[in-house]
């Protein structure tokens, strides 16, 4: 559940199977002005990311079913959202493994809430500084920022799910190149090609003036999809 705070507040996803710690972190971060959504494991975290966009993830290493390390490695296939990992393991090799998986920083349990807050602020600050050099892609009346994953039309922001951001990043990185459904499914971690068709249909509703007669994101029958930018 996401609490209501300032509309422009940065949105954090906390993934931890320890309910007590989850609740404590959520309350603490809400009081510091963040929007906070929680998840109990990797599967729940992925489901949250499919429906919402996040500015940063806070992920426990010791998750049930799928480890936090594997979860971060999986999302790194399609997303560069900043990640802070939490662990009860003090072995330096664990920190190295986390960084290799794609984490931006590592914090050992137990920790002081103030230190957690400072690390979150530092990671977000570095992320925002990196975003200032991002190259916006313009097509028609739309502008897409691939680093921040933001899409706007005539200056008005359009909400995208993490799956839609991942697809748009892939297409805008290779305009004019036909990409097969199988490759899109692999690169986005989607189970099969038919699911890609559904996601494409939903994406077209947001990036096309006439989704049934797409101008930018077109179907290449028998091959896949191609994105045409101005």
CATH number for the domain including 192? 1.10.10.10
pLDDT band at 19 (very low <50, low <70, confident <90, very high): very high
Residue 118 sits in the same domain as residue 142? no
Looking at the fold, whether 168 and 79 belong to one and the same domain comes out as: no
My answer on whether 125 and 151 are in the same domain is no
93 in the same domain as 142: no
Give the sheet arrangement for strand 137-139, strand by strand: 137-139, 142-145, 150-153, 156-158
**pLDDT (0 to 100) of residue 181:** 86
CATH of the domain at 40: 3.40.50.2300
pLDDT tens string 23-66? 999 999 999 999 999 999 999 999 999 878 899 999 999 999 99
16 and 37 in a single domain? The answer is yes
Number of domains in the chain: 2
Model pLDDT for residues 86-111, shown as the tens digit of each residue: 988 666 666 677 777 888 888 888 88
Query: What percent of the chain has pLDDT above 70?
Result: 89
Would 179 be classed as within a structural domain?
yes
* Final residue in a domain of this structure, among 131, 154, 174: 131
- Domain termination residue (choose one: 131, 148, 176): 131
Strand, coil or helix: what is 116?
helix
Q: How much is the average pLDDT of 136-163?
A: 84
Last residue of a domain, one of 131, 161, 177: 131
Tell me: pLDDT of 193 over 80: no
Q: Supply the pLDDT for residue 178.
A: 85
pLDDT at residue 228, rounded to an integer: 87
- Residue 124 backbone phi and psi in degrees, to 5: -65, -35
Of 220, 229, 228, the closest CA to residue 181 belongs to 220
Domain identity same for 179 and 205: yes
My answer on whether 99 and 195 are in the same domain is no
Cα distance between residue 45 and residue 39, in whole Å: 5
59 is in which domain, residue-wise?
Answer: 11-131
CA distance 149 to 152: 10
In this structure, the answer to whether residues 22 and 47 fall within a common structural domain is yes
Q: Does residue 9 surpass a pLDDT of 50?
A: yes
């Amino acid at each position: 559940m996401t609490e209501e705070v300032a509309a422009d507040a940065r949105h954090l996803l906390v993934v931890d199977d320890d309910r007590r710690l989850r609740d404590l972190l959520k309350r603490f971060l809400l009081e510091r002005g963040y929007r906070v959504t929680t998840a109990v494991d990797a599967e729940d975290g992925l489901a949250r990311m499919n429906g919402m966009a996040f500015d940063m993830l806070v992920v426990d290493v010791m998750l049930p079913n799928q480890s936090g390390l594997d979860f971060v490695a999986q999302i790194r296939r399609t997303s560069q959202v900043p990640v802070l990992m939490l662990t009860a393991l003090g072995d330096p090799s664990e920190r190295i493994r986390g960084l290799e998986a794609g984490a931006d920083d590592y914090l050992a349990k137990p920790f002081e809430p103030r230190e957690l807050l400072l690390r979150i602020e530092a990671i977000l600050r570095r992320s925002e500084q990196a975003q200032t050099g991002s190259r916006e892609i313009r097509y028609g009346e739309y502008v897409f920022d691939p680093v921040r994953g933001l899409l706007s039309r005539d200056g008005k922001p359009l909400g995208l799910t993490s799956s839609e951001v991942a697809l748009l990043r892939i297409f805008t990185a290779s305009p004019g190149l036909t990409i097969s459904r199988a490759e899109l499914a692999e690169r986005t971690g989607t189970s099969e090609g038919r699911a890609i068709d559904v996601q494409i249909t939903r994406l077209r509703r947001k990036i096309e003036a006439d989704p049934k007669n797409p101008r930018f994101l077109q179907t290449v029958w028998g091959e896949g999809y191609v994105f045409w930018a101005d």
